[in-house]
Amino acid sequence: MILSWLDEAVQAGAREERACDVLGLEARTVQRWRKLGGGDDRRAGPLSKPVNALSDQERSEVLAVANLPEHRDLSPKQIVPKLADEGRYIASESTFYRVLHEADQMTPRGRAKPPQPRPAPQHVAAAPNRIWVWDITYLPTSVRGEFFYLYLMMDLFSRKIVGWQVHPAESMELSSSLLQASVDAEEVDPKQLILHADNGGPMKGSTMLAKMRQLGILPSFSRPRVSDDNAFAEAFFRHLKYAPSWPTKPFASLELAREWVSKFVRWYNEEHRHSGIQFVTPVQRHTGKEAEVLEARARVYAEAKARSPKRWSRRERDWTPAGEVALTAPSRRGPSKGRKGAATVNALTRQLP
């Protein structure tokens, strides 16, 4: 009966190991049952009660002490030393935690807000000027400890750099001026635009947020301490700083830094064949010319195969356009499938005698 329940849970999307945990079984036990073809449950269980197990009275005392007015805002790591200073020892910190957890009282103590779930930003760009990502990076200067700051905005769909500026400081005022300049240069309808960024001050400052509200741009931010949520901007900065043309010495002046970034951005937008968009340039994809370029490439491959068919053991390379671009990669485990599987396991558990 248990094996049939496990099979039903796995078919619904649950992992067998997780289903075994919910049922109180070891995965090896289930493997042995399957190898034997079923049969009776011959588990003997523990033959004796652990000598160090808490009694019901001791367990009640731990809960009562943890819930006293003078202790209800303290963690067990603070309660146990406090009791020791008073000449009392009831249980260890780990025992306090275990008893509170079993009593479903492991909520955050004090006035601090409990951790809030932060889902990954789910944005998909199907056309240019729908989703922009942006960030700021350091540019080294000839003065040790001082930096110039490259503000940069990129179109997620085409990877085109739609705006950039280099300044000697970070500020939300400079961020808002870059946003306005980029919108004007692209002649984009800001009400159809999503702007994604990290959680830094220049990104979430009041001036920057006010500029986005004024333009009608929808803001989007990464989850705290999750750099992968803004991976496209981070990847560009790595490409920039590891490019062969990157200067071997720090930038001596702001003008030289701006001049170098200007040349690099022009090369990146107009000449660099990007691996993430079928090796077309960002400008070609941004202006809708990628289909024409890729069709011409496909014809070249087809003609080469017709001239020397013996050299082609497989079909020619697929030059289909890259299509939509997701801001964050989807989870390998589908969220809906995982929830369905967990619900199935819980429902089966309630049927146990």
pLDDT at position 193 is 96
Per-residue pLDDT band for 73 (boundaries 50, 70, 90) equals confident
Residue 351 in this model has a pLDDT that exceeds 70: no
Residue 212 in this model has a pLDDT that exceeds 90: yes
pLDDT in tens, 220-243: 999 888 878 899 999 999 999 999
Per-residue pLDDT band for 330 (boundaries 50, 70, 90) equals low
Q: What angle do CA 222, 328, 290 make, to 5 degrees?
A: 125
Per DSSP, the residues of 260-312 read HHHHHHHHHHHT--BGGGTTB-HHHHHTT-HHHHHHHHHHHHHHHHHH-GGG-
- Choose between 116 and 176: higher pLDDT: 176
Angle between helices 2-11 and 27-36 (to 10 degrees): 110
**What secondary structure letter does DSSP report for 48?**
S
pLDDT at position 30 is 84
Per-residue pLDDT band for 122 (boundaries 50, 70, 90) equals confident
Instruction: Provide mean pLDDT across the span 92-108.
Output: 89
pLDDT at position 16 is 86
Residue 28 in this model has a pLDDT that exceeds 70: yes
pLDDT at position 72 is 82
Instruction: Provide mean pLDDT across the span 88-114.
Output: 85
Instruction: Provide mean pLDDT across the span 116-125.
Output: 86
* Highest mean predicted confidence (pLDDT) among 77-81, 109-113, 119-123: 77-81
pLDDT in tens, 158-183: 999 999 999 999 999 999 999 999 99
Residue 71 in this model has a pLDDT that exceeds 80: yes
pLDDT at position 344 is 46
Asked which of 52-56, 63-67, 217-221, 257-261 is least confident by mean pLDDT, the reply is 52-56
Instruction: Provide mean pLDDT across the span 111-136.
Output: 87
Per DSSP, the residues of 154-190 read EETTT--EEEEEEESS--HHHHHHHHHHHHHHHT--G
Share the mean pLDDT of the chain.
87
Instruction: Provide mean pLDDT across the span 291-314.
Output: 90
Topology classification of domain 124-277: Nucleotidyltransferase; domain 5 (3.30.420)
Asked which of 3-12, 90-99, 137-146 is least confident by mean pLDDT, the reply is 3-12
Cα separation of 234 and 243, whole Å? 14
Locate CATH 3.30.420.10 in the chain.
124-277
Cα separation of 124 and 131, whole Å? 8
pLDDT in tens, 315-329: 888 999 999 999 987
Instruction: Provide mean pLDDT across the span 252-268.
Output: 97
Per-residue pLDDT band for 41 (boundaries 50, 70, 90) equals low
**Closest by Cα among 42, 233, 228 to 131:** 233
Classify strands 218-221 and 194-197 as parallel, antiparallel or unpaired: parallel
Instruction: Provide mean pLDDT across the span 53-60.
Output: 90
Asked which of 112-126, 156-170, 255-269 is least confident by mean pLDDT, the reply is 112-126
Instruction: Provide mean pLDDT across the span 266-270.
Output: 97
Interacting residues of 211 by C-beta distance below 8 A, sequence separation 6+ = 176, 179, 180
pLDDT at position 40 is 66
